Structure 1
Amino acid sequence: MEGPEKARLDAYFRRITARFPVDGPISLLIITHLLPERPAFLHALARTSTIAAVLPKPRSISPEAVQEVRRAYAVHDLSRAMFADPVRALEYLEKNAPSHDVVLLDIGGYFAPAITTLAEKFSGRIRGVVEDTENGHQRYEALEELPCPVFSVARSPLKHCEDHLVGRSIVFSTDALVRTRGDILTSRGACVIGFGKVGRSIAHNLRAHDLRVTVFDSDPVKRVQARSQGFRTPPSRTEAIHDAELVLCATGNLALRQSHFEALRNGAYVASVTSSEDELELDALDGLYQRTPVGDHLTRYEVTGHYFYVLAEGGAVNFVHGAAVGSYIHLVQAEILAATAALSRGEYAPGLHEVPSPVRQTIAQVWLDHFDR
């Protein structure tokens, strides 16, 4: 990022934090993609709050970004296991933010399994959670009762721009990795599993690249929507992937389990839009398939009579190329800042919440003032 771009982004975030100030001292535990643009967002958070720890999501870490962030904040390794056990999660929180008022910034519902224990037994106070993704939104929504307010930006209109561009970046990176084998996707059959905002963008972008696109979603309403937009929509996942030469998974909820891999055609490429642990049950293939790296970010899975390729080790394939979506990412980051400020005031009851429409309109106008030039 060049000097003028950094100055523009800093000015933007300063206006956002001035417009949505934090009320009183709070500490943040931040799960994040640590990509090149992310330090500026973290510095904006640090202007109004104390960053107790940054937990980068595996496989979405820029070495340059993590080096910069480590100079200013504590950076810890992240795994699902560390917050799946409520006792372990509580110990972590007590070690890093004892007796503090805490807001948890989440991407993918990592804190969801332990949130009740954290809210009830932590020596400080959990002000709430801000969740960034649809996958995480569903994890919190699935809990019988939320013990604190959870702000979700996953379904915000401001995120639609990002979701559309993520779909484009997924198709770009998939095509680029396939080409490293001297192969191309044009005119092939593709299956998109999941027809949410990102899956919809992927399906349309694949079709624009002259692929024959099939869509499967477990929600019959979304299958109807896909069908109305001209996509083939088989009634079962197995049928949808059976003849596909490319399978792109966009559910965030284990799109492919062990039995589904057996149904893949020989030579199929498999890619994901999110973490492999959320989308692909690859661990179930241990001892069954031989794994052989056949290029950068490309692994061949083979058993007698059957083989397929997994891109980016099953992680979000667009992170191979930085997952860039331009300045539109700063719309969502501003909404996260606004949600954090709202939680600091302690005015919200336990449950799922969204940032009010007037707040989003303010963010959009500030963004236009800084980036629509």
Structure 2
Amino acid sequence: MLEDFERARIADYFTRISASLPNGRRASAIAITHLLPERPVFLHALADIADLRAVLPKPKSIDEAARSEASRHWRCDELDRARFTTAGDLLAYLEDTVPGERVVLLDIGGYFAPALPQVCDRFSGRILGIVEDTENGHRRYLSHGKPPCPVYSVARSPLKIPEDFLVGQSIVFSTEALIRSRGDILYGRGATVIGFGKLGSSVASMLHSRNVRVTVYDTDPIKLTHAMAQGFHTASSLREALQGAGIIVGATGNLALRRSDFERVPNGAYVASVTSSDDEMELDEIRGAYAREHLGPNITRYSRTGHYFYVLNGGNAVNFLHGASVGAFIFLVQAEILAAVALLADQEHETAHHELPTDIRESIAATWLEHFTGAP
């Protein structure tokens, strides 16, 4: 929970950001969001620049106090990926929530991507654009080639680099906390990190700093060269990478472990993820083959004759167990999201993928530095 002075400080920062953004025309907004303790402050800032019609909390990252506050101010609906994958269902939701309105959709994970082309054609209002927060979601919108509406992605923004680095640290912190809850420790176990993108590389670096032997596997040979240059052992196949692993961290956002891969997970290994189980692991596919035993609220033992391993937090992002905090650095990314919403509402955009202009990013960074560090 935020202290009152912390909340006021964050709100003052967003006020400064909002004052620098275009404000000629407003739009409506629907926001998919992690509803963590600090998030209502961001939602209030969003509501200052757009008409926030609905909040869709990601179900595996909800703080109940934050949900209670959000529900007092805005409509809060259940988020269901399967529902929004169907054009008819997504269209019905938009017609119920923002009929005939100019609307910006804030996304985390590409929920709106599958049905977006049909919905853009049939919606009674106008979808001004999408603002996507994650690499996984960014890829889903890229899969359209030319998107059906403007898409701003902050996933690859330089303002997100500090957050990505600190998320990797929080993943390792939570993984270690769960392992220690069983009376076990990180040390003496080899770790395998699957995926060497921004989060995977941060996880690997943090594990290495804890004196854990790290093997990296990625299907992209360029990323493997990056891992090798940073001193990590690399594997040419997932089969090789899993051999002898005592800790396995999936960081691909695109099924790091499929059904057949679990057969190669070493006995006693701990399996963790940086994102949701639906995106990272085919756990549903192995439930008939393995018995499950809950050893605590966030550790599940999967076993069958001669084989067992432990899955942390049900295969979902382990860092959300401890708040997934990255400190004030999250407000860099949130400010960029606000800026993208304001630009989509105020200006006509080509139907394409967009990034914020460099001068706006630099202004956000300068405001953040002055506000949170006192730097001139």
The TM tier, using the shorter chain, reads over 0.9
* 1:51 partner letter: L
Q: Distance between the aligned counterparts of 1:253 and 1:317, measured in 2?
A: 17
Contact 1:21 1:48 in 2 (8 A): no
Q: Distance between the aligned counterparts of 1:22 and 1:252, measured in 2?
A: 36
Structure 1 residue 25, shift from structure 2 partner: 3.1
Q: Distance between the aligned counterparts of 2:151 and 2:124, measured in 1?
A: 20
> What do the CA deviations read for 1:314-364 (whole angstroms, capped 9, x no partner)?
111000000000000000000000000111124211111100110000000
Map residues 14-29 of structure 1 onto 2, 5 A cutoff. 14-29=15-30
* 1:327 partner letter: A
Is 2:111 aligned against 1:115? no
Q: Distance between the aligned counterparts of 1:281 and 1:58, measured in 2?
A: 19
Q: Distance between the aligned counterparts of 1:79 and 1:272, measured in 2?
A: 20
Q: Distance between the aligned counterparts of 1:231 and 1:275, measured in 2?
A: 26
Q: Distance between the aligned counterparts of 1:139 and 1:316, measured in 2?
A: 19
> What do the CA deviations read for 1:168-216 (whole angstroms, capped 9, x no partner)?
0000000000111000011310000110111111001001111100000
SS of 1:59's equivalent in the other structure is strand
Residue 85 of structure 1 corresponds to which residue in structure 2? 86
Is 2:146 aligned against 1:145? yes
Q: Distance between the aligned counterparts of 2:52 and 2:320, measured in 1?
A: 25
Q: Identity percentage over the alignment?
A: 57
Residue 298 of structure 1 corresponds to which residue in structure 2? 299
> What do the CA deviations read for 1:286-332 (whole angstroms, capped 9, x no partner)?
21111110012111111111111110111110000000000000000
Residue 8 of structure 2 corresponds to which residue in structure 1? 7
Contact 2:146 2:352 in 1 (8 A): yes
Residue 349 of structure 1 corresponds to which residue in structure 2? 350
Residue 210 of structure 1 corresponds to which residue in structure 2? 211
Contact 1:127 1:346 in 2 (8 A): no
Structure 1 residue 21, shift from structure 2 partner: 3.3
Contact 2:165 2:202 in 1 (8 A): yes
| More displaced 10-residue stretch of structure 1: 23-32 or 224-233 | 23-32
Residue 322 of structure 1 corresponds to which residue in structure 2? 323
Q: Distance between the aligned counterparts of 2:45 and 2:169, measured in 1?
A: 28
* 1:31 partner letter: I
> What do the CA deviations read for 1:14-70 (whole angstroms, capped 9, x no partner)?
111111134323111111100001000000001121111111112111111101111
SS of 1:139's equivalent in the other structure is helix
Aligned residues between the structures: 373
Q: Distance between the aligned counterparts of 1:120 and 1:88, measured in 2?
A: 14
Contact 1:264 1:308 in 2 (8 A): yes
Map residues 250-265 of structure 1 onto 2, 5 A cutoff. 250-265=251-266
Residue 64 of structure 1 corresponds to which residue in structure 2? 65
Residue 136 of structure 1 corresponds to which residue in structure 2? 137
CA RMSD of aligned residues (A): 0.9
Q: Distance between the aligned counterparts of 1:138 and 1:23, measured in 2?
A: 31
SS of 1:256's equivalent in the other structure is coil
Structure 1 residue 87, shift from structure 2 partner: 1.0
Structure 1 residue 3, shift from structure 2 partner: 2.0
Contact 2:194 2:217 in 1 (8 A): yes
Q: Distance between the aligned counterparts of 2:243 and 2:262, measured in 1?
A: 10
Contact 2:26 2:346 in 1 (8 A): no
Contact 2:294 2:300 in 1 (8 A): yes
Runs of 4+ in 1 over 6 A off after TM superposition: none
Residue 168 of structure 1 corresponds to which residue in structure 2? 169
Residue 37 of structure 1 corresponds to which residue in structure 2? 38
